[in-house]
Amino acid sequence: MSKDSIEKFQTQREELNQLVMAYAGQGTKRFYSLDSQAYRAGALPAKVKELLGLVASFVLRCDDCIKYHIIRCFEEDVSDQELEEALFIGLMVGGTITIPHQRRAMQAWDELKQRKSRTSLG
């Protein structure tokens, strides 16, 4: 069975993070730690923080970041409607140049939903 694009992304991301950490100095290690801590639940729930991260990544047009936050939003039980509204805000701020990123974000979201559906059926 071949890996879907989400699995490929997650595998490659993990491998590349390990490579970065093999060379990382204290500053890089601290930044990576701070990044993961920023998305933990606090005054804002993790779900909201992931949506914020998604919108920021969407406006900045970083496909890797968008895919990462799409996965995290899925894991945080973001609904289709919440996702669509968040991406609409990004579309309003970022303009039409974000549309290709919206397409890829929704493709990743749909892949996650289909995977979940296959898992629950089988």
| Confidence band for 120, pLDDT divided at 50, 70 and 90 | confident
- The per-residue pLDDT for range 30-45, each reduced to its tens digit, is 999 999 999 999 999 9
CA gap 58, 113 in Å, rounded: 20
Domain boundaries, the chain: 5-121
pLDDT the model gives residue 1: 39
Q: Tokens representing 98? A: 């974000």
Q: What are phi and psi for residue 41, nearest 5 degrees?
A: -60, 140
Among 7, 5, 33, CA closest to 20: 33
The pair of three-digit structure tokens given for residue 95, joined into one six-digit string? 């303009």
CA 51 to chain centre: 9
Contact 68, 61 (CB under 8 A): no
**CATH of range 5-121; options 3.50.50.60, 1.10.274.10, 1.20.1290.10, 3.30.559.10:** 1.20.1290.10
- Which pLDDT value is given to residue 121? 74
Question: How many angstroms separate the CA atoms of 44 and 46, rounded?
Answer: 6
SS3 content of the chain, % helix, strand, coil (to 5): 85, 0, 15
62: helix, coil or strand?
A: coil
Question: What is the pLDDT, as a whole number, of residue 118?
Answer: 85
